A and B are shown apart, each in its own frame.
Chain A
Amino acid sequence: MEKRYSPFLITVLGIGIAFLYLPMLVLIGFSFNSSALASVWGGFSTQWYAELLHNQQILKAAALSLEVAALASTGALILGTLAAIALVRFTRFRGRLLLTGMVNAPLVMPEIITGITQLLLFVSMLQLVGWPSRGMTTIVLSHVAFCTAYVTITVQSRLATADRSLEEAAMDLGASPLQAFVDVTLPIISPALISSWLLSFTLSLDDLVISSFVSGPRSSTLPMVIYSKVKLGVSPDINALASLIICAVGICVLAAGYLVRRGERQRLADAQLAAR
């Protein structure tokens, strides 16, 4: 596009970004407020962070959420990568349209519907085959389902632009198709794999609605605990916890963004080298 700076556009962009960030920055600021009254600044203090360390309910929920997120994002990475390979490399197969639909639909399906239908599946399965009972297992399964969609979309777009001639060259030199894929293409798409794992991890860590439906009575994830507290109003220890999570997610996203950009730069450099 033409590079002309319009004051109107710059202003809207600036206000838009301020609108997106101001509430989060204020929240982080107030997490260091020593006063328990949310509206009064009582001086700098880290006491709410210290209190988090003694809150067994929050620690237990955080441990569960991290475990679920690690399992779900790893499962989704495997399934999503396979789905992306299938959709990009195998142009014709029975069920292709079905698979395309099933990896795209979760992106726009209201979470509340996904949550209810999955819960109904789990209770029906428990009745029919005696597995899975509601708890960590069901949370992980439902998270894998929606994270797989995000992994597929990310890896699919990266794989579609990957140069296939390199793989063909490897096969001409005697590599099997699997070997050629693992040794040549997998390293090329690895930034996309890492970033989609990180993004699945944060999505799983954040999920409230689906987890609320499919979890059992003794398995509350961190967002469920936060929601039950937040419903009652603003509380200083949740400010501290929220700040920690926002910073952790921020670091994950920046890391993922950095990896993708480094991958792009590497690709450009390789292309230039190859062209020489």
Chain B
Amino acid sequence: MGERASHGDEDGVASRERGFSLGRLMERHGRWLVILPPLVFLLVFFLIPFAFALKISFAEAALRIPPFSDVWQITADHHLKLTPSLRNYAYLLNDEVYAVSYLYSLKTAFFSTLICLLIGYPMAYAMARASKATQGILMLVIILPFWTSFLLRVYALEGIIRDNGLLNAALLWLGVIDHPLKIMRTTFAVYLGIVYSYLPFMVLPLFATLEKLDVTLLEAASDLGSRPWRAFIDVTLPLSMPGVIAGSMLVFIPAIGEYVIPALLGGPDNLMIGRVLWDEFFANHDWPVAAAVSIAFLVLLAGPIAVHQYYRVRQLEH
């Protein structure tokens, strides 16, 4: 009886201690309940896919499901046999369509970014000078297209620039032209489409930096005899560089990989890398080559993405 009671007591102590240590465990490791779900999810569904793409870029296209060969096999005597193929990468280097379309995408993205900057900077500057109440409204006005479907906005633009679209109708009616202008399926249409789609991405970060700009610095410059234009070049522009870089990266990087705009508005000459990748996948069904193009593309994008990450982290720390 006494033994039992003492047993019970010990059990009680043990369970209380267990409870206590469980609490301590929660306290010490509870943060992992917060950290692990997003970390594991993004690891599995965002980062690890790149590892699979890397693996499959060394496979060969095959008539099976999924349509590529194995990169490694376990042989009968339990040895790992690697059978990587460099065929896809050799193909990328030999077939000039990839290099040409990549360079063409870079060029298109660069000039679109420049145009966005030239239009977006004065817009953001005007917004930064508006009163607080107006700023709130203008922010919403710029954000609204930012969240509206890309596809639908490109489609809406097509309605304006088609051969029988509103622009041509207006110009014909005004007598400026006597034949409809050919805008659709030209390089100009691709630029117009990219600038139209990505302009808000440029304006918002620019506005965020210009809004915080210290006015006293400009006043100091003008007190010291600087003309407004010089004060802009010497003071405002350098101070707004973080916004310029953030906005440019937000336009430049996605624009290189753009698929919808060149496919809907561009002609056959506007061969951007996103379009080549799409066709490789959906028209040619060559998944290993598509994987190799993605990996090569990603390696080339690593520089700009690192610049973007660097500025974002720095911005968050301030």
Contact = CB atoms under 8 A, between A and B. Distances in A.
Given A39-B164, A209-B259, A123 B159 contact: no
B140 interface: yes
B151 A86 contact: no
B256 A110 contact: yes
A1 B304 CA distance: 31
Given A79-B41, A152-B38, A120 B53 contact: yes
Contact of A26 (B45, B142, B166, B215): B166
Contact of B199 (A20, A101, A253, A257): A20
Interface of B: 30-31, 34-35, 37-39, 41-50, 52-53, 55-56, 66, 119-120, 122-123, 125-131, 136, 138-145, 147-153, 155-160, 162, 164-166, 169, 196, 199-200, 203, 210-211, 213, 215, 218-219, 249-250, 253-254, 256-260, 263-264, 274, 277-278, 281-282, 287, 290-291, 294, 297-298, 301, 304-305, 308-309, 312-313, 316
Nearest to A102: B42
Contact of A116 (B35, B254, B290): B290
A16 B297 contact: no
A40 to B, nearest CB: 9
Contacts of A100: 313
B46 A1 contact: no
Nearest to A83: B38
A215 interface: no
Interface in A76-90: 78-80, 82-83, 85-86, 90
Interface stretch (A2-10, A53-61, A163-171, A266-274): A2-10
B193 to A, nearest CB: 10
A206 B151 contact: yes
- The B interface, classified by DSSP as helix, strand, loop or mixed, is helix
A226 interface: yes
Nearest to B212: A1
Contact of A90 (B35, B43, B294): B35
A148 B254 contact: no
A82 B38 contact: yes
Interface of A: 1-6, 8-10, 12-13, 16-17, 19-24, 26-27, 30, 38-39, 78-80, 82-83, 85-86, 90, 93, 95, 98-114, 116-118, 120-121, 123-124, 127, 141-142, 144-145, 148, 152, 156, 160, 177-178, 199, 202-203, 205-206, 208-209, 212-213, 223, 226-227, 230-231, 234, 238-239, 242, 245-246, 249-250, 252-254, 257, 261
